[in-house]
């Protein structure tokens, strides 16, 4: 199937032929859908803490964090293009000679453009766009209202203007304080000082696209000195790209390897599951994971950050007990009552179902079984009440071996043609806003190899189009889905107010993104 030139291309990416053939087989055999047993709900997979319980858990984290190596991990490679989708449509459709905004909204049913234009001065980028317009369009005030609106949007998006759609979300004006604006990137640095710093240092790692790396570095050099002075925290910021070895190939509709016009194999980024490699490279005790666009203005951040400390406290509390049990198992200092206590903790606190034959195992085999179940990375995931936002949901899932576990499942992993699966989805009460705290080391202080805990069967297969040609595309198991399938998971309810993503530019008008 592959020529010598193909094999050289494959090896140059750091991929083996076996891996490529496995990808082809996966695409041809189809994806494995998750087998949902039930939705995880409060007291059945999701922990809900009362106000009086939260303070001591936070205090546990506060007491220990100065001895911890903490990293905040922020996926930040996504371009902002989708934020401006309706504005690109506006530029294509709007006729400045014939249309006004009211006619346009009536014609295309586009209420987003109406909201956008009515709130122009509220957006954090308004001043920057107007300054650019003054440079490029000196007769702006003489234009009709329709022409002014068109020029404003064109100046924002056109590559000869501010070219906002080229940049990642992290580098766009996100929040306005007085007459100045700051980026989501800067807000994430500030946020790290509230819960993810120790000994006066904050370590942050951003995964970015290679074409944007220099822009992030330039922004960092601009904001770092003032931010360090105002927060009295030193920032250690690092960057990485998705590794080429995590790229995947695609197949045509008739099952052939999809190729570029020059005959080379088309390899595509493997989705956010590829970032497991980047996460695995970090040397940290605990890692907070949060998306670049889920960030709020400073005064709200101070309030909401306590829930990040809550998640971290829950993690440390669970780790303390797990590490104690593993040390006890190593020393051989345990009896039947200890085995029972360990099994109870595993089931009630880590939501791990024991094999049905666990009770029939010998004393030694029970100990070995518990050791294997305990000695895994732990993640504590915030879960918010489902109010219609997209996102992976928490479910009890049964795998091919019959094991039942708590998982975050994306809609793409669910077979909606099965009524039972569909009805289970509709019973879900919460979803995952990508709000995780991860325990990256074992009880001996050694880093886990995170690649050992992936469910490779949880890969995604989707249909895409390139140059008008359909293709089947393979994505790696999602970072917080299949890539963490064999971690120990604790799900904790957090307020929905802590989830404030910016999927469309109009989301910047929401209260969470407006400084008072």
What is the DSSP annotation of 81-150? GGGGHHHHHHHHH--TTT--HHHHHHHH--HHHHHHHHTGGGSTTHHHHHHHHHHH-TTGGGS-HHHHHH
CB 188 within 8 A of CB 175: no
What pLDDT was estimated at residue 124?
97
Indicate left, alpha or beta for 402 from its phi (over 0: left) and psi (-120 to 50: alpha). Answer: left
Q: Which residues 6+ apart lie within 8 Å of 68 measured at CB?
A: 198, 285, 286
Q: How far apart are CA 17 and CA 225, in angstroms?
A: 48
Bridge partners of 168, per DSSP, are 79
CB 227 within 8 A of CB 186: yes
Mean pLDDT, 10 residues at a time, over the chain (516 residues)? 91 93 92 93 95 96 97 92 93 89 89 94 96 94 94 95 94 95 97 97 96 97 97 98 92 92 92 94 97 96 96 98 97 95 96 92 96 98 83 87 92 89 91 94 97 92 86 92 96 95 95 93
What is the SS3 assignment for 485? coil
HSE-CB of 172 using CA atoms within 13 angstroms = 31
The burial class, CB within 10 Å (0-12 / 13-18 / 19+), for 411 is exposed
CA 328 vs CA 277, 316, 323, 342, 374: distances in Å: 32, 18, 8, 10, 12
What pLDDT was estimated at residue 390?
56
CB 428 within 8 A of CB 434: no
Task: Identify the CA nearest to 425 among candidates 413, 433, 436, 443.
Answer: 413
Asked whether the whole model's pTM tops 0.75, one would answer yes
Q: How far apart are CA 134 and CA 244, in angstroms?
A: 43
What pLDDT was estimated at residue 421?
92
Q: How far apart are CA 395 and CA 408, in angstroms?
A: 6
Q: Which residue ranges make up each domain of the chain? A: 4-66+251-261+313-513, 81-166
Other beta carbons within 10 Å of 443: 16
Angle at 114 between CA 111 and CA 120, to 5 degrees: 140
């Amino acid at each position: 199937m592959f020529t010598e030139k193909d094999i050289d291309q494959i090896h140059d990416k750091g991929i083996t032929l076996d891996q490529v053939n496995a990808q082809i087989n996966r695409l041809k055999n189809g994806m494995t859908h998750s087998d949902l047993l039930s939705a995880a709900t409060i007291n059945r997979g999701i922990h809900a803490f009362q106000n009086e319980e939260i303070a001591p858990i936070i205090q546990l984290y506060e007491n220990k964090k100065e001895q911890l190596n903490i990293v905040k991990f922020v996926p930040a490679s996504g371009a902002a293009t989708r934020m401006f989708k309706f504005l690109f449509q506006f530029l294509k459709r709007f006729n400045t000679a014939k249309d006004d905004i009211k006619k346009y909204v009536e014609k295309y049913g586009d209420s987003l453009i109406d909201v956008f234009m009515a709130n122009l001065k509220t957006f954090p980028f308004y001043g920057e766009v107007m300054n650019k317009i003054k440079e490029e369009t000196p007769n702006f005030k003489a234009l009709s209202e329709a022409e002014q609106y068109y020029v404003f949007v064109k100046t924002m998006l056109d590559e000869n203007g501010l070219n906002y759609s080229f940049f990642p979300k992290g580098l766009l004006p996100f929040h306005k304080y007085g007459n100045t604006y700051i980026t989501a990137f800067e807000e994430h640095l500030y946020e790290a000082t509230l819960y993810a710093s120790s000994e006066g240092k904050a370590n942050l790692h951003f995964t970015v696209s290679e074409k944007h790396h220099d822009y992030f570095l330039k922004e960092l050099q601009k904001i770092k000195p003032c931010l360090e002075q105002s927060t009295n925290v030193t920032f250690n910021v690092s960057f990485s790209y998705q590794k080429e070895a995590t790229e995947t190939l695609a197949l045509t509709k008739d099952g052939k390897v999809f190729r570029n016009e020059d005959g080379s194999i088309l390899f595509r980024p493997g989705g956010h599951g590829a970032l497991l490699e980047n996460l695995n490279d970090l040397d940290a005790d605990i890692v907070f994971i949060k998306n670049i666009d889920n960030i709020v203005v400073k005064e709200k951040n101070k309030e909401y950050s306590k829930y990040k400390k809550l998640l971290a406290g829950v993690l440390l509390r669970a780790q303390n007990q797990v590490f104690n049990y593993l040390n006890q198992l190593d020393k051989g200092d345990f009896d039947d009552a200890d085995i029972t206590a360990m099994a109870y903790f595993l089931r009630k606190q880590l939501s791990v179902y024991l094999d049905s034959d666990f009770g029939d195992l010998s004393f030694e085999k029970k100990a070995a079984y518990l050791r294997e179940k305990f000695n895994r990375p732990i993640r504590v995931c915030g879960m918010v009440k489902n109010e219609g936002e997209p996102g992976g949901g928490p479910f009890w899932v049964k795998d091919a071996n019959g094991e039942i576990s708590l998982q975050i499942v994306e809609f793409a992993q669910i077979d909606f043609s099965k009524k039972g699966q569909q009805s289970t989805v509709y019973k879900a009460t919460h979803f995952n806003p990508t709000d995780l705290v991860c325990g990256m080391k074992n009880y001996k202080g050694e880093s886990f190899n995170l690649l050992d805990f992936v469910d490779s069967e949880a890969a995604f297969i989707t249909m895409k189009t390139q140059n008008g040609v359909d293709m089947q595309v393979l994505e790696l198991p999602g970072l917080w889905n299949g890539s963490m399938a064999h971690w120990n998971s604790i799900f904790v309810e957090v307020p929905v107010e802590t989830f404030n993503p910016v999927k469309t530019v109009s989301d910047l008008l929401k209260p969470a993104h407006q400084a008072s």
